[in-house]
Each structure stands twice: as C-alpha cells, then as structure tokens.
Chain A
C-alpha cells in the first residue's frame, strides 16, 4: 500500500519521534553511551532450500553455482576460528557479547552454544540459517512457523527462551514485529533508524543496530577497508560520546566472525573497541541488559 500523506510513519510498527524533541535518556551511572556488541553466528547452508530467499552475497567470491565451496567454507571460518578471536578481544575489554545465533548453528554446533554460554554471552534468535531470510514472499503460516522453529530450537539448545531477535540480513515482512511479539520476543534489532532504543507495538522494543557499524555491510557490501572501518568506529563513537552528554546514546555494533575475525582484521577491531572502552561514561551491556534498563528507566 502506498503511503498516506499524513503526520507520522507510513507503517504501524512504531511512532514518529525525532531525537531532538526527546526527554533525556539516562544510562546507569550516567553513562553517555551504551555499547552493545552483537556477534552474529550464522550457518551458510551447503544446499539452501530451493524456495528460500536470500539477499546475502557475502563470502568467498560472491554467490556462484552449486556447489559453492569457497563461499560455504569462507563463512564456516567464523565458526571454526574467527569466533574465538572475536570473543577474546571482547573478553579482554570487558564486553559481554550478544550472540545472534541461527537455529542451524544452535543444532549443528553444540560446542559453540556451550562455549558462548560459558563465556557469559546472551544468545538471541537469528532465524534458521544465513541462507534464508524472512521476506514479504512468505505466507503468514510459513513465517510464523519459521519464527517458531528458530525460537524453539534456540530454547532447546540453550535452556532459555531467547529475548532478542535479529533477522537474517535484516529480513522482515509487514507482519514480522507482530509475529515476534506473539513468539515471546522482547526486542528486535532490524530497524537501523536510531541511536536510542524505542518502543514498538505489541510490547516489543527496538534495539537499533547501527548499519554503518555492521562489518558485513561496510566491508563486504560496500568494500570499505578494515583500517577505514576501524577509523569510522572511533570517529562515530567520539561524536556519540559528545552527544550522549545531552541525551544518552546507544551504539550497537554487529560483527561477523568469519569477516572481522580474520587474522589481519582482528587487531583493527581491538584497537577500535579499546578506543571506546578507554573512555569514561561507557556502559557495555548485552541487548537484554540495555532493554531491561530502558523499559524501567525511560523518560
């Protein structure tokens, strides 16, 4: 449906709210910036279902005909090697990761589930695999089943129902927020439109990722180099830290271990995150930690 020309958004999922008019959001200990690092663990399927949809072009040499050894294995690098480098960096800096895990990873890599839980990570739902995203092509029944299965598998694998959802490739239909709320999800990371959390309909909250701080978007899609990406993280943080004195800011950085966990990249990530954690007034927290605070303390 084309937009109707009237005040507010042209969809029902959240209200229009320019940041300039909002009352001050205060973080714990009056932090200026809340930092949430999402580590995305997604399994790239050897042979995705023929009727599934994916916008993902990343890894190997782009998408090639089946069997695509380089792409499959490039992505697999994250599960085998990259994840441990990334988590080591986060541990050294005192950042608890929020791990967005798809259900094929949860079922196929029990070691990783145990490992992430053992390191105190929060695990949030991330669909079924890196090769299938939710799209407007799905029927309501298909989408509800997709979400139910992703949530149920994660609950079984981790012992707890996931509170957060991060769509594979930020994929949604018009129904997704409502279906997620029905599935018991508290917060959603797909809407990249803000520097604060905000309420969505049906009791759901938005924990907006910063798209430009997403390593895959910036380095794989846009082809920005790692040194420049790290510089952008530092530059961006500096301004959010300045602006956060007036009204608390949220910086959600989404990382893919197969990409930023490569040996030549990891040092730049550590340098950028060290820059952030070297400042006063930074609250590093998990997605749930941030949303729980926001729910109780929002202005």
Chain B
C-alpha cells in the first residue's frame, strides 16, 4: 500500500532513466523572485494568522515587506539584468494591479510568472471547492489581462493549499505545482484529469526562511554555490533542476545584494547550464519524460 496523500509515486532517483535537457545541459537553473503584497488589514480566513505579532495592523512587518516593492525589487533587478537572467516570478497577482511600474518592469523583460495567489495574506487552507475553482479562474484571467501570458503553474499563496489543490489546478489547465520540496527533478503528480508535474522550488536556497533567523547572506551565497557545484557534478549523468528563491524585501537590502551578485557570478562562470523558467521546465518535461516516468514508477509500488 502506498502512503497518503498518494499524489506522487515513489521513484528513487538512482533508478530513473536519465533526463537530458534540450542542449545536453547539466543543470536547469531557474531564479524565482517572490514578488508579493501583504495586506495592511487582512481578514483571517482559516487556521493561519497573517500577522501573528500584534493585533492588526502590524506596521513593522507590513512596511518591512512593502520595502521590497518600493526599493528592494529595483536593486535586485539591477543584478538580475547584469547577468541577463529571465526570471520566473512567484507572483501575488494583485501586485500587477497595485503597482504598475513593477508589472511593466517584468513585462518589459519577458519574465515568466507562476501564481503565488492573489495576496500573500490570503491562504487557501479554508477554501471550499467552489471558492478554489473561482480562485484559479481569477488567477488565470488576471495574469492574461495584465501581462498577456497564459498561467501555467503555482506556488500556493504563502505556500498554502487544500487537499484538492492538485486536482483543481490541473482541471483549470495548469501544468505545474511548486509546493513540493521532494526532489531534484520534475516528477508527475497524480491528478483526476490532465497532466500535472512538480517542478523543484526550494525552501532551502531561499532567503526567507534563512533571514528570518540568524543566517546571513554570506552563508546564503555559500550554500547556493555548493548546491550548484553538487548538482552540476550529478547533472553530467542525468539533468538536475536548481531553483534559487528570492524575496526582494530581503535580498534587495543594501547589505545583502552583493551576495546575489557573488552567487550568479559563480554559476555563470560555468558552461552547460540551461537558464530557464519553471514554465519551460514543465513544458519540456511533460513533452519528453512524463509518460515514461509514470510507467517507470510502477515497479516501485508497495
């Protein structure tokens, strides 16, 4: 018997047929800035409190995050531009509506977008099935209206979800979900209809969990470089995915930005990297590996 939630079939990475990226690259690298807005006076809906420090508003925490949109985003952008990175944004879609200069900067660079919900203070946990269906409709329509792009994937709002999430995402036409921290390659997610895959995001190479506690950006640079070196080595046999997750309010702080430069300088000094986005990784994987992976995993069923 496989164990709940029965969403992803077990498949040990050492047994899998190798993955070859489009031009034989070792590592598919995607950079995921989380471009977010947290509400000043959110309404708590479900089990998680958006501002647990104080009664609402929490001006300290609200304005700390708003710093990302006013200042940090622009400083981060200078470094990403310097390395010609086409990012795949984890996007609170309401940012497109609130802050048109940010929208235009992203559209001008032809970035890709995965949904990160509408606001980072509106979690999915308590959504009914009907509410969640409407949520995807809204996400898809908003992105199309504001950027002209078709929404393909999601990192749940503040990484929240329901048990139905993968089924409803797939039903809405989305093809990837990045809430799964379980692998260095894409893998199929079992859904009622359609094809959905997980694309590796990172809760480790991620400035948010690190800088909430006592790690600093020199450490972040060190682990990103080490992660890259290891995956680059392994990627000679079978392609790997590496994601670096950023938050402009954190990495865009003046005392941190040089370490982002240091990370990208290290990575870009190598050949054999597919600079890509989660949209492209999901498309490529579904086209070339999805069916084979489903069949291959059958032999490991308990």
Interface positions of A (Cβ within 8 A of B): 1-3, 5-11, 16-21, 53, 55, 133, 135-137, 167, 169-174, 176, 190-195, 208, 211-212, 222-225, 228, 231-240, 243
Contact B253 A136 (CB under 8 A): no
**Does the CB pair B59–A170 fall under 8 Å?**
yes
Task: Tell whether, in the assembled complex, residue B53 and residue A16 are in contact, meaning their CB atoms are under 8 Å apart.
Answer: no
B247-262 Cβ-contact flags toward A at 8 Å (1 or 0): 0000001111110000
When the two chains form their complex, are residues A9 and B71 in contact, meaning their CB atoms are under 8 A apart? no
Contact present for B99 and A190 (CB under 8 Å): no
Q: 0/1 per residue, B68-88, Cβ < 8 Å to A? A: 011101110000000000000
Contact of A170 among B41, B42, B55, B60 (CB under 8 A): B60
**Contact yes or no, B60 A237, CB < 8 A:** no
Residues of A within 8 A of B216 (CB): 224, 228, 231-232
B300 within 8 A of A: no
Q: How many A-B residue pairs have CB under 8 A?
A: 144
Interface residues of chain B, those whose CB is within 8 Å of chain A, are 37, 39-43, 53-57, 59-60, 63-64, 66-67, 69-71, 73-75, 94, 97-102, 105, 118-119, 122, 211-214, 216, 253-258
Set of chain A residues within 8 Å of B119, measured between Cβ atoms: 3
Q: Which residues of the partner chain A approach B256 to less than 8 Å between Cβ atoms?
A: 235
In the complex the two chains form, is A169's CB within 8 Å of B94's CB? Answer: no
Which residues of B lie under 8 Å from residue A11 when comparing CB positions? 40-41, 57
User: Could you tell me the distance in whole angstroms from the C-beta of A97 to the nearest C-beta in chain B?
Assistant: 22
Contact, CB under 8 Å: B55 / A136: yes
- Tell me which residues across on chain A come within 8 A of B63, comparing CB atoms: 190-193, 208
**Which chain B residue lies CB-closest to A137?**
B55
Give, as a whole number of angstroms, the nearest-CB distance from B97 to chain A. 5
Contact B97 A5 (CB under 8 A): yes
A234 contact set on B, CB distance < 8 A: 255
The listed residue (A2, A7, A133, A167) touching B42 by CB distance below 8 A is A2
B282 to chain A, nearest CB (A): 27
Contact B59 A171 (CB under 8 A): yes
Residues of B within 8 A of A20 (CB): 74, 101, 105
Tell me which residues across on chain A come within 8 A of B255, comparing CB atoms.
Answer: 212, 231-236, 239
CA A193 to CA B72, docked complex, whole Å: 9
Give Cα distance in the complex from A233 to B59, angstroms: 23
- Taking each of B63, B98, B99, B100, which has the highest tally of chain A beta carbons within 10 Å of its own beta carbon? B63
